[in-house]
Structure 1
Amino acid sequence: MGIVINLDRVMRQRGISLNELSERVGVSVVNLSRIKTGKVKAIRFSTLEALCEVLDCQPGDIMRHEHADT
């Protein structure tokens, strides 16, 4: 399974739109959308830190690791 992104859930809980988050974090809407949908291969720590700062959360609130069933 790998890394699962929960950015949309955290955004919903905080009542923040993609456009507002983009402005406050300083990352384009397109790049945030890619992060939100899990279509990225990497995320900079500075971006993750900015997301956590704006959303008042921990990295584990935004993403988690799921083990594949064996």
Structure 2
Amino acid sequence: MLVKLKKTREAKGLSQNELARKTGYSLQNIQKIEQGRAASITFDALGRFCEVLECQPGDILEWRPNNIDDKTGHSSNDEVLKTASEEVEGKSESPKSTKRQPHMIVIDANRGAA
């Protein structure tokens, strides 16, 4: 997943400090997201960024498959997306899935993998 928060923020003429103040997120969190050091982002955060920047989620996040398996032609991210879409559709059978859990978008499913 490619994070385009910095590009979108700069196009709107906002500094990181202004975005932090308007969204309620810390400057450090915004820097982490813009530098690609955040492992995930909640739908709530994405919604706040879109509201303040008057944009769509696709203006902030861009899907870029990586690690395509030569044998299957599938990305290593396919399973993450399948699980996420099942949770959104209410099909997940995971006992850990509850209505109180914040939904997250995984920015780099392979971060830290050996």
- What is the TM-score when the length of structure 1 is the normalising length? 0.90
Aligned residue pairs total 68
Unaligned 5+ runs, structure 2? 69-114
Q: CA deviation at 1:69?
A: 7.3
Give structure 1 regions of 4+ aligned residues with deviation exceeding 6 angstroms: none
Q: Once superposed, what is the RMSD of the aligned Cα atoms?
A: 1.2
Partner Cα distance (2:41, 2:53) in 1: 16
- What is the TM-score when the length of structure 2 is the normalising length? 0.57
- Give runs of aligned pairs for residues 13-52 of structure 1, distance below 5 A: 13-52=11-50
Partner Cα distance (2:17, 2:67) in 1: 37
Partner Cα distance (2:19, 2:27) in 1: 8
Choose 1 or 2 for highest CA Rg. Answer: 2
Q: Counterpart of 2:24 in structure 1: which amino acid?
A: G
Q: Counterpart of 2:2 in structure 1: which amino acid?
A: V
Higher helix proportion: 1
Higher RCO by CA contacts (8 Å cutoff, separation 6 or greater): 1
Q: Tell me the secondary structure at the aligned position of residue 33 of structure 1.
A: helix
Match of 1:57 in 2: 55
